[in-house]
Amino acid sequence: MRSWIKNRNILIGLIIISSLIIIAAFAPQVAPHDPTEVNSMVRLQPPSKEYPFGTDHMGRCILSRIVYGARISLLVGVAVISGSLFIGIVLGTISGYFGGLADDVIMRLVDGFLAIPSMFLALALAGTLGPGMVNLMIALIAVEWTSYARVVRGSILSVKEQDFVEATRGLGASDLYILVRHILPNIISPVIVIATLGIGYAILAAAGLSFLGFGVQPPTPEWGSMLDDGRLFMRKAPYIMVFPGLAIMITVLAFNFLGDGLRDEMDPRFRKEIPH
Amino acid sequence: MLEVINLDKCFSSGGMMKKKYIKVVDRISFQIGRGETFGLVGESGCGKTTAGKSTLRLIEPTSGKIVFDGIDVTKLKTKEMRKLRPRMQMIFQDPDASLDPRMKTERSIAEPLRLRGGLSKREIEERVMELIETVGLNPEHAHRYPYQMSGGQNQRVVLARALASNPDFIVADEPTSGLDVSVQAQILKLMNELKRDLNLTTMFITHDLEVVKHMSDRMAVMYRGKILEMGETENIFNCARHPYAQLLIEPQPSEDLGVQDAESENRNGDRPGCVFYPRCPFAEKNCMEKEPEMIKMNRDHQVLCHLV
C-alpha cells in the first residue's frame, strides 16, 4: 500500500480526486455564495474579489455553482460506473466462465446494445425516460455496461484456460473459489483501469446530456448545463464557459491519472523494483 | 491402484449445424500398480496429454471407466469428485503458467492445505517451509512471485504444491520439456527421490524416450489415440514388437517418421484397419481392412498389431 503512494500518477490523481470530494462534501462551507441566488445587479461580471470566477447571465456566482456542481458530477460518475461494473462483472463472468447458452444469449444482447450508437442510445433513453438525474444515470448505465461485460468476459476466457486454474480445480476447489481467488484477481486490473477511465467518460457524457437539456434541470448547478448557459455569451463573457470546462477537464484527467497508476501498481509485472 | 478401461475422449469442432467429432483418445486401457511409475510416450498430438487429463477427470472422458483405489471415478458426482481430487494431482508442462502470477510461493503452496482445512495458521506455515525444503528450494523463495523465479524453481514450487495435498497418484505431463537440459536432470532426480520417499504412484507423460527409460517401470507407446504397445520399460526397450515402437526406439535413417506428424493426418475418418497402417513399413492388406486386437505377448507385454 505504501508503494502505491510513491507512484506519481496515483498521487496526483488521488490528491485531485480527494480535494474534489472534500469540496463537494463541504460545498456549503466552501462556496462563497448561494449557487442558485439570482442577482440582476451583478450579471455577467468578470472574475473579481467578490466573485472569483465571475457571474453568469443571471448574476449567479460561478465558483459557487462549480463547487455545488462537483457533487452532481462525482455522484453521477461513480453511480454510473458502479452500476455498469456490477452488471458487467456479473454478466461477463457468467458468459466467460460458464459459456454455453448463457454466453450466446448475453453476448447477442451486448451486440444488440453496441449496434446502436452510444450517444444516440443515451439521448433516446434520456428523452424517453424524461429529464432528471436518476434517468440520466439509467441512460448512461445502459450505454456503459456492455464494455465491462465484454472486457470481463474476454479476460476470463484468457485466464480460465491457464494451467493454474486447472491445477486449482485439481486440488478440489469449487468454481466459486476459483472465480473469487484466482480468476477475478487476475482480471481486475484491466477492469479497474477501464472503470477509472469510465468515471471520467461518464462525467463527460453526463455533462454533455445536461448541456443538451436532458439530465439535471435548472436551477440545479451542473457543469454541463453551465456550459449551455454560457454558450450565448461566449464572446462577451468567456469565463462562464471556461471555468466549468476546466472543472470537467481536471476531474476527468484526475481519474485518468489514477486509472493509469493503479494499473501499473496492481500488476506485479509492471512494478519497477524487484524485492530480493 | 489405478485401472483405466476403454477410455475414450472425443472433441467436437465446427459450428452448430455441422459438427465434426475428433477422436483424440481411442479406447485405451491400462493399469498402474501402487508405487509404480507408468510412462506414456508418443509424438506430439497423439493424445497423451488428453489421456492424462481424462484419467484425472480434469476433462470429462467421453466413455470408459476409471477405477482409482477401488473407487469408480467416472461415476462420482462433482462434489464427491472434489473430495477425491487432492489424492490425485497433475503437474503441467509449463511451470510458469501452472502458478497464479499474483501468488507468492508460500501462498501457492499453502493453498492446498487451506482448501483441505483443519490446520492452524502456524501448522500451515510450518508445513509450507517443510515442503519448500523437500523440493530443494531456499526459505527466501517463499516470498517471491513466479515471475521472479526461473522455470526450474517454479517447477519445484509446482511439485511442492502438488505434494501439499498428500497425493497418492501424480500425473506428470512433460514436467521437464520446458526446462533447460541441466535443470531437467535435477527435476527428474528430485521426482525420483520423492517417488521413492513418499511411495508415489506416477503416470509420466513424455515424448522423450531417454526420460521414460530413466523414470518408468512400465510404459505404453501411444499413436493417434491408441496404445500400440505396453509392457515393462526394459522389455520394450530390449525387444519392441510393434513396428511403430521399433521405429521410435531405433529410428531408421530412411524413415521419414519425423516429417509426418500425427496431427497432419486426417483423424476423424472412420477408416477401418490399423491406425498405423499408412506409415507402417510392413503393412499388409489385412492391416488396411481389419482393426487389430491387443495381443498378449506374455504376462505383461501387449501389442496392437496383426503381424506379431
What percent of chain B has a predicted confidence (pLDDT) above 70? 91
Q: Facing residues of B275 across strands?
A: none
pLDDT value for A175: 92
Residue A75: exposure state from Cβ atoms within 10 A (0-12, 13-18, ≥19):
middle
CB A97 within 8 A of CB A79: no
pLDDT mean over B121-127:
93
Residue of A nearest to B115 (CA): A173
- A171 interface with B at CB cutoff 8 Å: yes
pLDDT value for A153: 94
Element (H, E) at B133: helix B121-134
pLDDT value for B170: 94
Give Cα B246 distance to the centre of its chain.
21
Q: Is A238 helix (H, G, I), strand (E, B) or coil?
A: coil
Which domains, from first to last, does chain A contain?
10-20+62-270 (1.10.3720.10)
The yes-or-no verdict on residue B264 having pLDDT over 50 is: no
pLDDT mean over B146-168:
92
- B85 interface with A at CB cutoff 8 Å: yes
The yes-or-no verdict on residue B270 having pLDDT over 60 is: no
Alpha carbons within 13 A on the beta-carbon side of B228: 30
pLDDT value for B131: 94
pLDDT mean over B225-248:
89
Kindly report the CATH number assigned to the domain that includes residue B80: 3.40.50.300
pLDDT in tens, chain A (276 residues): 556 677 888 999 999 999 999 999 998 988 888 888 888 888 888 888 888 888 888 888 999 999 999 999 999 999 999 999 999 999 999 999 998 899 999 999 999 999 988 888 888 988 898 888 899 999 999 999 999 999 999 999 999 888 899 999 999 899 999 999 999 988 887 888 889 888 988 988 988 888 888 888 878 888 988 888 888 888 888 888 999 999 999 999 999 899 888 877 776 555 554 444
- CA separation (Å) from A47 to A27, A67, A239, B191, B203? 20, 16, 8, 78, 81
Chain B environment of A172 (Cβ under 8 Å) = 82-86, 115-116, 165
Residue of A nearest to B57 (CA): A170
How many Cβ pairs within 8 Å bridge chains A and B? 62
Distance from CA of A270 to the nearest CA of B (A): 11
- A182 interface with B at CB cutoff 8 Å: yes
Reading the block at residue A38, the C-alpha cell is 439570482
Distance CA B124, CA B135 (A): 17
Q: Kindly determine whether residue A171 and residue B112, on different chains, have CB atoms separated by under 8 Å.
A: yes
What is the strand order of the sheet B201-206 is part of? B88-91, B169-173, B201-206, B37-41, B218-223, B226-232, B301-304, B294-298
Q: Kindly determine whether residue A172 and residue B115, on different chains, have CB atoms separated by under 8 Å.
A: yes
pLDDT value for A271: 53
Residue A20: exposure state from Cβ atoms within 10 A (0-12, 13-18, ≥19):
buried
The yes-or-no verdict on residue B236 having pLDDT over 60 is: yes
- B80 interface with A at CB cutoff 8 Å: no
- Domain of B213, in residue numbers: 2-304
Closest in A172, A177, A275 to B85, CB measured: A172
pLDDT mean over B198-226:
91
pLDDT value for B128: 95
Cis, bond preceding B61 (omega within 30 deg of 0): no
- Lowest mean pLDDT across B26-40, B166-180, B284-298: B284-298
Domain count, chain B: 1
- B155 interface with A at CB cutoff 8 Å: no
pLDDT value for B135: 92
The neighbour count for residue B41, using CB atoms within 10 Å, is 27
**Alpha helix (H) ranges present in chain A?**
2-6, 8-25, 27-30, 62-93, 100-115, 118-129, 133-160, 163-170, 175-177, 184-211, 223-231, 239-266
pLDDT value for B254: 53
The neighbour count for residue B231, using CB atoms within 10 Å, is 24
- Lowest mean pLDDT across A169-178, B184-193, B283-292: B283-292
**Better pLDDT: B289 or B112:** B112
Determine the residue among A164, A265, A267, A274 to mutate to test chain B binding: the one whose Cβ has the most chain B Cβ atoms within 10 Å. Answer: A164
Distance from CA of B212 to the nearest CA of A (A): 23
pLDDT tens-digit map of B85-110: 999 999 998 898 999 998 999 999 99
Determine the residue among B56, B100, B149 to mutate to test chain A binding: the one whose Cβ has the most chain A Cβ atoms within 10 Å. Answer: B100
Distance CA B224, CA B23 (A): 9
**Better pLDDT: B238 or B260:** B238
Closest in A162, A168, A274 to B97, CB measured: A162
